[in-house]
Structure 1
Amino acid sequence: MPKISRKGALMPQSPIRKLVPYAEQAKKEGINVYHLNIGQPDIKTPEVALNAVKNNTLDTLAYSRSEGSETYRTKLTAYYKKNDIHVSANDIIITTGGSEALFFTFGSIMDPEDEVIIPEPFYANYNGFSTAQGVKVVPVVSNIESNFALPPIADFEALITPKTKAILICNPGNPTGYLYSKAEIKQLAILVKKHDLFLISDEVYREFTYDGHEHYSIMQEEGLEPNAIIIDSVSKRYSMCGARIGCIVTKNTTVLNTALKFAQARLSPPTYALLASEAALETPDSYFSEVISEYVERRNVLIEELQKIEGVKVAIPKGAFYCIVELPITDSDVFAQWLLEDFRLDNETIMVAPAAGFYSTEGLGKNQIRVAYVLNKEDLRTSVAILKVALNQYNA
């Protein structure tokens, strides 16, 4: 029998999606499942974006440019300028989601066996992208005790080898909700310039910052232009996860020209989604004010309720809409499956994401879950109440 590739065999399963069959089976049995497992906002997509697709007058659905339309990239520069990021349309390549932006970036700056240092826990698909490109992830551990703050720079420096090509951060972070400070970004900037590395910043949650904290982009850091690569997306910003439109932003022309060759090989991003994303840039600021206010309330409800459960530890998010929760259990993979297969409270249960899949170091995160607070406040209260009863039963 023909064999699959070694790369395919090593490709990790998504910790977020691998439990879907169990959730679907529970639903077939009439069970109401509260989804705390995936960052799919229930916030409505801006009407202006939806109308751009509904009311378009295209009579041929043609290819777009490989790098995305010039009109969209030009309008994006105005969006970035509002965020104190000064770039031109020629500094941007539009991709099929932030995922493809990362895939193109890895392919453009790293060869097989090269290394990328990432603070863990990190977005689980970073493992997948690195495996697909033959790149080695080198984790630097952050922890719940420090709220998942940036690990000491000495910890990063100790991991740098001749194979190291980049440091990758997510800011604000998925799955931790941590927002890196301006001082922390400056520390990383000094380090990557010292060792001639790239600094990749996944900034898809840029808008979602709380408690008066402000996002500081790596592209705001003077002198970092040759090293800095931003990964961005419309998915979370406008609640447009299904549009699959993202981008690479960098002033390093060699990186951008290389990434363009990857973009040309896949031909072009989807035309309708480009129309919607371009229109979404007209979304009024009031939309974000309302959305952020709602997420702050949801976060506060979630944290307050979780802190009432004995033996539970939770990191306080400063941004995005996720948090890591440490539970009084030994294996969250087993617990998450048990919740869907065997546990019911008034014909309801919850679906969570086991956190081990967000780590690269074997054994870490086994007693943790990631919770996405993308449900309304009442559903979040109900979900935590279900979790409390479930933990009591499970540990009994």
Structure 2
Amino acid sequence: MPSVSNKGLTMPQSPIRKLVPFAEGAKKKGIKVIHLNIGQPDIKTPQQALDAVKNNNINVLEYSRTEGSEEFRSKIAQYYIKNDIPVNANEIIVTTGGSEALSFAMNTIADTDDEIIIPEPFYANYNGFATACGVTVVPVVSKLEDNFALPPIEEFEKLITSKTKAILICNPGNPTGYLYSKEEIQKLATLVKKHNKFLVADEVYREFTYDNKTHTSILKEKGLEEHAIVIDSVSKRYSMCGARIGYLVSKNKDFIATALKFAQARLSPPTYAQIASEAALDTPDSYFAEVKEEYVARRNLLITELEKIEGIKIAKPQGAFYCIAELPIEDADHFAQWLLEDFSLNNETVMVAPAAGFYATEGLGKKQIRIAYVLDKESLKRAVHILSEALKNYKG
């Protein structure tokens, strides 16, 4: 029979989604599954975004411009300017989600077998995008005991070779919730300028920073204009994950012109989703103030409840809405599957994301899970109680 590609065989499974069949199996048995595994906020999408689609008078659903409509890109630029980030519409390419933006970025800056250095643990799909693009991920380890802070800059420099094309960070981080400081961003900026590399920052959680800390965009760093590439998205900011609208932002004209060729090959981003996303940009600041307040309350409750479990280690998130916890077990993959197949408490169980899939280094993260605190506080408290009881009963 015909065989599939080696690329396909090496494509990693999503640690976030690979347990879905077991969750569906639990639901068919009448067990309620509390989902801590996926970053799908329960926050309401801004009404003006929904109304913009509902009330439009389009008669022909045409292709949009490859780089996204000029009106939408201009409003995105205004959003950045409002945040003291000088950007114009011609420095933006609208993509089908942040995922496509990452794929375009990797294809634009790297050839087959070129390397991108990424602090791990990192968003699991970076591995998938890299595999699809033929790019090699070179990990540099950040540690739970350091709250997943940026590893020493010397560790990055040791890994730079002639094949290195970029350093990629997520700020604030998925899956760690770590927020890089201005000093850490400046260290990375100095390094990529020294070695003439790109610095790619996935900044989709920019609005969600806590404890009076502020986000530092790489687009604010002077002298980094030719090196900086930002990945952004409306998914998390406006609770619009299903819209699948993201964007690439860079002041490097050659990068934008080349990425546009990859965008032309897929024709255009979706029209209705752009309409909704453009309207979402009018969301008042009060929306984010309320959302941040809610996430802080959820984070605090989650950490408090997790710390009651004997033998658990937790990194305290400073942004986004994820938490890494190390459990007193040997294999989080087995435990996560067991939760869905063999355990329930009062006819409920919990779905978590095993953290090994967020690492590139074999063997790391095997005892860790990622928790997305995107549910209401009552559900979170109940979920942690179920998790605590499960650990008492687990024989794995």
Q: With the length of structure 2 as denominator, give the TM-score of the two structures.
A: 1.00
Q: What's the counterpart of residue 43 of structure 1? A: 43
- Structure-2 separation of matches of 1:298 and 1:142: 25
Deviation at 1:332, TM superposition (A): 0.4
Deviations 1:122-160 (A, max 9, x none): 000000000001100000000000000000000000001
Stretches of structure 1 lacking an aligned partner (at least 5 in a row): none
User: Is residue 242 from structure 1 mapped to residue 207 from structure 2 by the alignment?
Assistant: no
- Contact 1:329–1:395 (8 Å) recurs in 2: no
Q: What's the counterpart of residue 324 of structure 1? A: 324
Q: What's the counterpart of residue 348 of structure 1? A: 348
Q: What's the counterpart of residue 64 of structure 1? A: 64
Q: CA RMSD in A?
A: 0.6
Q: What's the counterpart of residue 387 of structure 1? A: 387
Q: What's the counterpart of residue 193 of structure 1? A: 193
Q: What's the counterpart of residue 4 of structure 1? A: 4
Q: What's the counterpart of residue 218 of structure 1? A: 218
Deviation at 1:369, TM superposition (A): 0.1
Q: What's the counterpart of residue 73 of structure 1? A: 73
- Structure-1 separation of matches of 2:357 and 2:292: 28
- Structure-2 separation of matches of 1:70 and 1:127: 32
User: Is residue 360 from structure 1 mapped to residue 360 from structure 2 by the alignment?
Assistant: yes
Q: What's the counterpart of residue 26 of structure 1? A: 26
The count of corresponding residues between Structure 1 and Structure 2 is 396
Deviations 1:70-126 (A, max 9, x none): 000001111001111101000000000000000000000000000000000000000
Stretches of structure 2 lacking an aligned partner (at least 5 in a row): none
- Structure-2 separation of matches of 1:324 and 1:220: 29
- Contact 1:16–1:353 (8 Å) recurs in 2: yes
- Structure-1 separation of matches of 2:284 and 2:48: 10
- Structure-2 separation of matches of 1:272 and 1:196: 39
SS at match of 1:93: strand
SS at match of 1:309: coil
- Contact 1:312–1:325 (8 Å) recurs in 2: yes
Q: What's the counterpart of residue 280 of structure 2? A: 280
Deviations 1:296-323 (A, max 9, x none): 0000000000001000010000000001
Q: What's the counterpart of residue 309 of structure 1? A: 309
- Structure-1 separation of matches of 2:127 and 2:218: 22
Deviations 1:314-369 (A, max 9, x none): 00000000010000000000000000000010000000000000000000000000
Deviation at 1:395, TM superposition (A): 3.9
Q: What's the counterpart of residue 300 of structure 1? A: 300
AA in 2 matched with 1:107? N
- Structure-1 separation of matches of 2:95 and 2:316: 32
- Structure-1 separation of matches of 2:168 and 2:112: 17
User: Is residue 163 from structure 1 mapped to residue 147 from structure 2 by the alignment?
Assistant: no
Deviations 1:251-270 (A, max 9, x none): 00101000000110000000
- Structure-1 separation of matches of 2:164 and 2:259: 19
Deviations 1:263-302 (A, max 9, x none): 1000000000000000000101110000000000000000
Pairing 1:87-106 to 2, within 5 Å after superposition? 87-106=87-106
SS at match of 2:394: helix
User: Is residue 291 from structure 1 mapped to residue 291 from structure 2 by the alignment?
Assistant: yes
